[in-house]
Structure 1
Amino acid sequence: MSGKKTIRRYDGPAGGWDALRSATKHLFEQDIPVRGARTLLSANQPDGFDCPGCAWPDRDHTSTFEFCENGAKAVAAESTKRRATPELFAKYSVAELSRYSDHWLEDQGRLTHPMCWDAASDRYLPLSWDEAFATVAAHLNGLGSPDRAIFYTSGRTSNEAAFLYQLFVREYGTNNFPDCSNMCHEPSGTAMTPQIGVGKGTVSLHDFELADAIFIFGQNPGTNHPRMLGELRKASKRGAAIVSFNPLRERGLERFADPQDKLEMLSGGSTRISSDYFQLRIGGDLAAVKGIVKHVLETDAQAQRSGAARAIDAEFIAAHTVGFDGFAADVAAESWETIEAESGLSRGQLRRAADIYLAADGVICCWGMGITQHKHSVATIHMIVDLLLLRGNIGRPGAGACPVRGHSNVQGDRTMGIYEKPAPEFLDRLRDVFGFEPPREHGFDTVGAIEAMLDGRGKVFFAMGGNFATATPDTAATHRALRNCDLTVHVATKLNRSHLVHGREALILPCLGRTEIDMQETGPQAVTVEDSMSMVHLSAGINAPASTELLSEPAIVARLAEATLGTRSKTPWRWLIADYGRIRDKIAEVFDDFHDFNRRVAVPGGFRLSNAAGQRQWHTQAGKAMFVAHAVPTDLPVHRARAAASSPVFTLTTVRSHDQYNTTIYGWDDRYRGVFGERRVLFAHADDIAALGMSAGDWVDIESLGDDGAHRRANRFMLVEYSIPRGCLAAYYPETNALVPLSSFADGARTPTSKSIPVIVLPHAQDGPTDAPRDIPVAVVR
């Protein structure tokens, strides 16, 4: 930790001068004050690179530079002059490195050489690329069954790398493709695909200019998607209603000062974001949305009785949907008492939200991981889409569904075939284009991969980016799983925790970053990425590589494929990576939506993939959009834990700090929540702290109560008073991942339930960890 450790109320807006100061500080800390400015100005430009941070789209990808604090930090972290060379690994054993924080590990800088763990010295030693590929190939070819190998994918992998990766793995013979989607937005695709025929959002940025109301569920854009605040600010200024549902008061949903608005910056002003802010209980979103739907249907019934205009779009429902009558009957049968009890909102609050919905001609519903990481995530998303369907708010301007995804190309990776349950039609196209018979049996998702490594079915783990050991649930179980492997391999730009939680053999393979020049046989190359709204555009780095030893991700995949498959593969791997346009031509042969890929993506801003639901074409079993009914859940893990426990049971949600992106910790501050110099904090309501007989500033241990009977524990967190509903708690990820049972995941989607963990709070046991400081002043955050 560094800097002053304190808790104090933060009254400033999101963005503004503090955002500029924080980003500038990070640039200087990474030793790139001059080059960093040029690099930042090339982000998200037609002749530059795509930001390696979030997947929020850019306005046509041709606009002037859009300032984003966390994007600046991501670029600075990748462009740093610091280097994690073989000398670093010679200085520290793996055991010694393991004692350092995640922040310290990544702060050592860019990896420069392929490294292999040496058991005798417990150190990583350099090796050649040929030796690395031969090692992996020998393990893969010696497994007996391809299904004993697991191939993980991070959302930072480009379309070209992801396509080659899935091609290689399927030629090798398995569909074991756990990926970061399994841990975030899997419920979105699981819910929407059968309901409206598309697993992606139906809106574009242009729709945000036209919407009369924007409903935001379970999302904190100020920290996780800062550029989204620009769109929300514009919508607010033109009078659109912005209705937020979030258990915590989040500054980015309250006020925003745009660093690019000279008048706002000079005057110290800001723009209100949410016109209405509803602090519902953790996991209460399904009940809240159903309450809104109930009021809409009650209003419609009254309109019919009085001969007034219908409150719902009856023509759209009749022409484009099925299942409405059964859905309406289910909503009518749900009691207001259950809805209020489970949502934590009053009937009046829900009617207020419903009246805003009824008054709007066009409504967009956005949601993030606050929706997707619950036991009932799929059902909640069904209900959100049901709400949109009631008034025809899908398939017309200014309206639609908007799941806001996280990492920059997580959506593109899935489009390219990174999926453990591939469609038969896709596999047929691979067969026809590349001349091999792909495996048809479904593979492991993330939870399944951990289970397979634990019980010995999975023996080789290969990760294309990411920080698997830290990002996953049930930390102790995940670490045991990785250590049970014969070989673990990580393609990465920087050192992270996963490299230290390794198998009996382990490799680290350093790759080029998004900001760097990718020089291949025919010259410098560009890759493509797909953002959250299905725009596909080019990304070409401008910085010299951090080391002459670095390979691009496509090159790593191609050379590994050659080493593993040998002459049994008909794919011309080296020829493909000599010019990435050749990879894109093959993508176009497999996916009809990518026809004329190279020509279309060369246009500044790229092109948008088709979205059938956005055109009111419903590729569902019924040929129409479907209303899907769900009862408000009253028998979730937290209900069962409360019924069985003798002490107060809380629902804990994991959140990111503002100095963090995914598992990358940029620093120790969470400015918007008023936490500085500390991460082991537990946000709680003042009355809950008092009811526990404790005070803000006390140190506590957190114990989760899983359905599996195990009591997992995370020690030494400081209580912080915060504006959050009673019975609800929040703490940072990944520090509390250890509390999430591997067996607790979303019904139908298997996403870990990291946003709804039943826990009890205990006074800190003195034999717990003592790494956190004890001298933080007691204060209150409201």
Structure 2
Amino acid sequence: MDKSKPAGHIAPYPHAAAGWGALKQVAINLVREKVGGGNYKTLLAQNQPDGFDCPGCAWPDREHASTFEFCENGVKAVAAEATSKRVRADFFAAHTVSELLAQSDYALEQHGRLTEPMLYDAASDRYLPVAWDAAFALVARHLKALPDPNQAAFYTSGRTGNEAAFLYQLFVRAYGTNNFPDCSNMCHEPTSRGLPATVGAGKGTVTLEDFEHADTLLIFGQNPATNHPRMLGELRECAKRGAAIVSINPLRERGLERFTSPSHPLEMLSNSSTAIGSLFIQPKLGGDFALIKALAKRTLELDDAAVAAVAAAGRAGLAGAARVLDVDFIAEHSNGFAAFAADLRRQDWGQLVEESGVAREQIEQLAQVYVKGERVIATWGMGLTQHKGAVATIRMLSNLMMMRGNIGRLGAGLCPVRGHSNVQGDRTMGIEEQPTAAFLDRLGQVFGFAPPRAHGYDVVATIEAMLAGRVKVFFGMGGNFAMATPDTPQTFAALRACELTVHVATKLNRSHLVHGRAALLLPTLGRTEIDLQHGVAQGVTVEDSMSMVHLSYGMNTPASPQLLSETAIVARLAEATLGKAPVDWAWYGADYARIRDAIERVFDDFHDFNARVAKPGGFHLKVASRAREWRTASGRAEFLVCAVDTDTPIHRAKAKHGARLMTLMTARSHDQYNTTIYGMDDRYRGVFGMRRVVFIHRDDLALLGFAAGQMVDIVSVWDDAVERRADGFMLVEYDIPRGCLGAYFPETNALIPLASVADGAGTPTSKSIPVLLRAAA
């Protein structure tokens, strides 16, 4: 931050993404976290064949990074783990939980690494040291005392490796419940629920190799420069060879405009950059479905015109235009196209333009880019998934890509970009509240028990169950549940209603301070740290966004000799609760290769797991739809008819409040990862030293009678008569569609009602919250 300017100011950032600004932030974070003792050297081993997998985002490694890949956010994640700052027993002796609760999320992050297990003492309002055995015995007593295993819920963060996740779900199912709220519920659940109905698998169909051959990329609802910076390296290469790159996002993000690659000395030394995006489309919040359907309609119209031209040319004895649709793909691989096409022809253009917020001329321009592309990749992030109609949106995008056969061929396909490093792997391992019967059958056969069959609670259902007293024990494997979830006061009340809350963590966060009547804080190893079991270093595997599975070994000395790995914590808790039946938990926890052997017995795609993952770069899990194998009920890809929803909470709120009704999206700042706040700047958006800001269009400022820099309170509009508000935000004039606002989470999570979720997925609608602005007192 420029010391000549006051803290808490707005200043345009004129530079490209990354470049020297990113290198400066690396230095700042290494100093801020007091990384020493040679731990900083581990940065050179990040994503390397003989190093460790980045604990940050799930973007894949090229050849498991045969050359150094620089990533600012990866450095922040590693520095946070490698910090020399410690939170020991004397820290908790000096601070009550109430005192700590008054600190900011940034301040809590800055205290450093947790070093020993702690038990909450209500009399002193402090965490006190507790022995590991006593901690596990306490959890086991609570779990065994519950009259119904479904009165416990087991949360999972995407930082958990495959081995810990597999053992965790095995323990929980042996205990007797499928209550697995996890971070997937809050991000890409609409992808996981939407794609199986169209292409038969809830994962993407591309690998990094496809980016080398793509001529067109449609990037929906993503900000790669902040959320997965290594993606910009791939986009840079695509742009340099002339691929068309389209950013479809309400915010025009810097990383998709210009990028200076720290891995390319010439760009750094010349202070030059590569232009990334060739076209920018800014739909209004919630307008993605209508925009994608409009693209599909225009694609069909262009094909109709080509058919007519062929007919006219034939009558004149001339050659006609080529078809726009991939008629061979449609005929050989799909069902339902006739009904889908009929619905598109009936669809009113005026409604699509109105609901998308994109002018018809821009829609037609975008359609021309799409149909010109021979090899198109569509990528998306939470900009598509955190809406009421998100599942339908994902299915419509799948429809659009199938129209031209852009699934299952080199250089083309569907590419959901997950957030946390192993969020996809955790789901593959069985962290799923709605498990399939086939998976449960196999799990029961391999381990000799009868897994529970009833579907469990997702994140929102878990909060509701805690509030209603149906869940009494909450166990969190990583993450920051209290701040990642919607309706913050309700979530706080839910956690406080529990008889026991337990959190496995590396650093202090707010969830540890919003606790049940009894509470435990269990410190764990970070992925950068050496994990020794019986004197042998253990590796853990993760699955990235493109279904590559690779092995990772920590390199740093653990922050404390009292730390246990997540796998060891699960094994010891399982044995304390269930004994050695139906599994010898300690035997598995002693050697993670044994867990991988068990994984391959449950999942056919993991055959020869230990041998395949030992090779540099690991291996690719088969995604059937990439090979044009459709694991749907019909055995074919399905075109699905989806109508534009014009009776959403936003429509109803707009009808009541008129033009004063705004739609809010939550987003990360550049100095955060999920709920972890590394710093107070969002430099690409020109925000420095503060977080309580609201981005707004200049014409909406005038409409509402406000001025840039004015302080406002935000009040959400819902039909349950509950006032949800977030107070004290500065208005920042920004390039965002009319009627739309942007603000950071977790500060604005309090505005999202628990009941406001994606249809068919349960994901909170964090990108489409109807709100009103009021002048702050």
With normalisation by structure 2, the TM-score equals: 0.97
Matched, 1:93 2:74: no
Measured against aligned partners, the alpha-carbon deviations of 1:242-286 in whole angstroms (never above 9, x if no partner) come to 011110111011110001111111111111111000111111111
Shift of residue 238 of structure 1?
0.3
Matched, 1:339 2:342: no
Aligned to 1:174: 177
Shift of residue 331 of structure 1?
1.1
Aligned to 2:314: none
* 2:230 equivalent among 220, 224, 227: 227
1:344 and 1:240 map into 2 onto residues whose CA distance is 26
Measured against aligned partners, the alpha-carbon deviations of 1:681-732 in whole angstroms (never above 9, x if no partner) come to 0000011111111110000000000233323110000000000011000000
Aligned to 2:564: 551
Measured against aligned partners, the alpha-carbon deviations of 1:329-372 in whole angstroms (never above 9, x if no partner) come to 11111111111111111111011111111111100000000100
Shift of residue 462 of structure 1?
0.2
Measured against aligned partners, the alpha-carbon deviations of 1:283-330 in whole angstroms (never above 9, x if no partner) come to 111111111111110010011111132110011101000110111111
Aligned to 2:417: 404
| Structure 1 SS opposite 2:143 | helix
* 1:141 equivalent among 139, 144, 148: 144
* 2:652 equivalent among 620, 624, 640: 640
Shift of residue 34 of structure 1?
6.5
1:647 and 1:602 map into 2 onto residues whose CA distance is 59
Equivalent residues of 2:36, 2:84 under 8 A apart: no
2:543 and 2:717 map into 1 onto residues whose CA distance is 39
Structure 1's 34 and 28: CA in aligned 2 closer, same or farther, altered over 3 A? farther
Shift of residue 481 of structure 1?
0.3
* 2:600 equivalent among 573, 578, 588: 588
Matched, 1:491 2:491: no
Aligned to 1:562: 575
Shift of residue 647 of structure 1?
6.5
1:647 and 1:722 map into 2 onto residues whose CA distance is 18
| Structure 2 SS opposite 1:744 | coil
Aligned to 1:602: 614
Matched, 1:159 2:172: no
Equivalent residues of 1:682, 1:730 under 8 A apart: yes
Shift of residue 601 of structure 1?
0.1
Aligned to 2:201: 198
List alignment gaps of at least 5 residues for structure 2.
311-320
User: Match for 1:189: what amino acid?
Assistant: S
What is the 5 A alignment of 1:687-766?
687-765=699-777
1:632 and 1:209 map into 2 onto residues whose CA distance is 35
Identity %: 63
What is the 5 A alignment of 1:50-69?
50-69=53-72
Equivalent residues of 2:185, 2:763 under 8 A apart: yes
* 2:268 equivalent among 265, 284, 301: 265
Equivalent residues of 2:293, 2:352 under 8 A apart: yes
User: Match for 2:441: what amino acid?
Assistant: D
Matched, 1:521 2:524: no
| Structure 2 SS opposite 1:232 | helix
Equivalent residues of 1:650, 1:759 under 8 A apart: yes
| Structure 1 SS opposite 2:286 | coil
2:661 and 2:169 map into 1 onto residues whose CA distance is 44
2:658 and 2:14 map into 1 onto residues whose CA distance is 39
1:297 and 1:34 map into 2 onto residues whose CA distance is 62
Aligned to 1:771: none
User: Match for 1:446: what amino acid?
Assistant: V
Measured against aligned partners, the alpha-carbon deviations of 1:441-479 in whole angstroms (never above 9, x if no partner) come to 110000110000000000000000000000000001000
Equivalent residues of 2:195, 2:201 under 8 A apart: yes
Runs (4+) off by over 3 Å: none
* 1:209 equivalent among 209, 212, 227: 212
With normalisation by structure 1, the TM-score equals: 0.97
User: Match for 2:419: what amino acid?
Assistant: G
More displaced 10-residue stretch of structure 1: 522-531 or 119-128: 522-531
Aligned to 2:313: none
Aligned to 2:632: 620
1:763 and 1:4 map into 2 onto residues whose CA distance is 23
Structure 1's 352 and 412: CA in aligned 2 closer, same or farther, altered over 3 A? same
Aligned to 2:670: 658
| Structure 2 SS opposite 1:564 | helix
Shift of residue 578 of structure 1?
1.3
Aligned to 2:40: 37
Aligned to 1:772: none
Equivalent residues of 1:204, 1:533 under 8 A apart: yes
List alignment gaps of at least 5 residues for structure 1.
766-782
Aligned to 2:433: 420
Matched, 1:315 2:350: no
2:473 and 2:347 map into 1 onto residues whose CA distance is 49
Measured against aligned partners, the alpha-carbon deviations of 1:378-429 in whole angstroms (never above 9, x if no partner) come to 0111111111100100000000000000000000000000000111111111
Equivalent residues of 2:433, 2:455 under 8 A apart: yes
Shift of residue 60 of structure 1?
1.7
2:659 and 2:522 map into 1 onto residues whose CA distance is 48
* 1:392 equivalent among 397, 405, 415: 405
2:39 and 2:109 map into 1 onto residues whose CA distance is 18
1:33 and 1:391 map into 2 onto residues whose CA distance is 54
Matched, 1:186 2:176: no
| Structure 1 SS opposite 2:438 | helix
What is the 5 A alignment of 1:319-468?
319-468=332-481
User: Match for 1:313: what amino acid?
Assistant: D
1:106 and 1:325 map into 2 onto residues whose CA distance is 55
More displaced 10-residue stretch of structure 1: 631-640 or 266-275: 631-640
For the aligned residue pairs, the C-alpha RMSD in angstroms reads 1.1
2:39 and 2:232 map into 1 onto residues whose CA distance is 24
1:113 and 1:496 map into 2 onto residues whose CA distance is 15
2:90 and 2:80 map into 1 onto residues whose CA distance is 20
2:18 and 2:397 map into 1 onto residues whose CA distance is 29
User: Match for 1:666: what amino acid?
Assistant: Y
Equivalent residues of 1:62, 1:604 under 8 A apart: no
Shift of residue 570 of structure 1?
2.7
Aligned to 1:82: 85
More displaced 10-residue stretch of structure 1: 756-765 or 61-70: 61-70
1:23 and 1:350 map into 2 onto residues whose CA distance is 40
User: Match for 2:488: what amino acid?
Assistant: T
User: Match for 1:283: what amino acid?
Assistant: G
Matched, 1:243 2:255: no
1:538 and 1:647 map into 2 onto residues whose CA distance is 53
User: Match for 1:158: what amino acid?
Assistant: G
Aligned to 1:769: none
Measured against aligned partners, the alpha-carbon deviations of 1:593-640 in whole angstroms (never above 9, x if no partner) come to 000000000000000000110000001011100111212222111110
Aligned to 1:775: none
User: Match for 1:153: what amino acid?
Assistant: T
Aligned to 2:286: 283
Aligned to 1:774: none
2:39 and 2:348 map into 1 onto residues whose CA distance is 57
Aligned to 2:10: 7
| Structure 2 SS opposite 1:27 | helix
2:79 and 2:40 map into 1 onto residues whose CA distance is 9
More displaced 10-residue stretch of structure 1: 58-67 or 222-231: 58-67
Shift of residue 33 of structure 1?
5.4
Aligned to 1:674: 686
